[in-house]
Amino acid sequence: MSSKTLLVQRLAAIRAEGRAALIGYLPAGFPSVDGSIAAMKAMIAGGVDVIEVGFPYSDPVMDGPTIQLAAGRALAQGTSAVDVLKTVEAITQTNTPAVVMSYWNPVAHYGVSNFARDLAKVGGSGLITPDLTIDEASEWLNAAATSSIDPIFVVAPSTTDERLSKVVAACRGFVYAASTMGVTGARSKVANTAEALVRRVCAATDLPVCVGLGVSNAEQANEVAQYADGVIVGSAFVRTLLDAPDLASGIKAVEDLARALAEGVRR
């Protein structure tokens, strides 16, 4: 890779501060394209370090009911790849690293090298591909390297050591550690498998390890920040917007949640 992405630079700076990064997820196009951009900017104002822009998809196998509902609404309004890229550009213009979280089908449909090229054009740093296996990733890895995009793969507690080594060797930016088997969603407590998984990943790579699935409040964010390089929060932000009576109050509530989570990771 010819140059370090904004994501790599920012995570290194945060690590040098001796704290974990806060990564916030929302699907593009929910509750509207402009509404999702406004909510993401509110997350940044509240202290989110990196934005994960969801590419809405009709068959989101890893997502729980909260994100499925939001993605469904985004799709019903016709949210497209162009809207996803427009959202990424709006975020990167604030000098905040943005990565896209997408199932493989929409990327393949757009064209693998085209997506890498266009994501780089709008300043995007990386792509998280939860359902792309490392065995089938060669075309994507080549395209990502050509366009200086960080390929980010997901590992889980069930990932064997042998496979884990293979997966993290292909990652750039960070490794996404899923705290538990199952779908996304806010949980009353973060799975105790998360810390052991982070230890295993750290033994295999120097890349930052960021933990997702289940973090929903400042206490959980603080707990995960003790052992991970990054804390990923998705469903809690989506639920906050879903529960709001209107967009303006939803945006304020999202910023308040970001502030509480940011205080948790920095505590």
Kindly name the residue from 49, 63, 83, 223 that is annotated as catalytic.
63
Gap between the Cα atoms of 254 and 224, Å rounded: 20
Minimal CA–CA distance to 143: which of 182, 181, 179, 104?
A: 104
Kindly name the residue from 49, 52, 118, 150 that is annotated as catalytic.
52
- Structure pTM? 0.94
Is the backbone of residue 183 left (phi > 0), alpha (psi -120 to 50) or beta?
A: beta
Q: Which CATH number is correct for 13-259, 1.20.120.530, 3.20.20.70, 3.30.420.40, 3.40.50.720?
A: 3.20.20.70
Per-residue pLDDT of 160-198, as tens digits, reads: 999 999 999 999 999 999 986 444 444 455 657 899 999
61 CB-near residues (< 8 Å, 6+ apart): 103, 130, 131, 183
To the query of whether residue 63 is one of the catalytic residues in this protein, the response is: yes
Prior bond to 208 cis, omega within 30? no
The full DSSP string for 24-59 is: EEEETTSS-HHHHHHHHHHHHHHT--EEEEE---S-
Per-residue pLDDT of 104-114, as tens digits, reads: 999 999 999 99
What was the pLDDT predicted at 190?
60
Per-residue pLDDT of 52-108, as tens digits, reads: 999 999 876 667 788 888 988 998 999 999 999 999 999 999 999 999 999 999 999
To the query of whether residue 34 is one of the catalytic residues in this protein, the response is: no
The domain segmentation of the chain, as residue ranges, is: 13-259
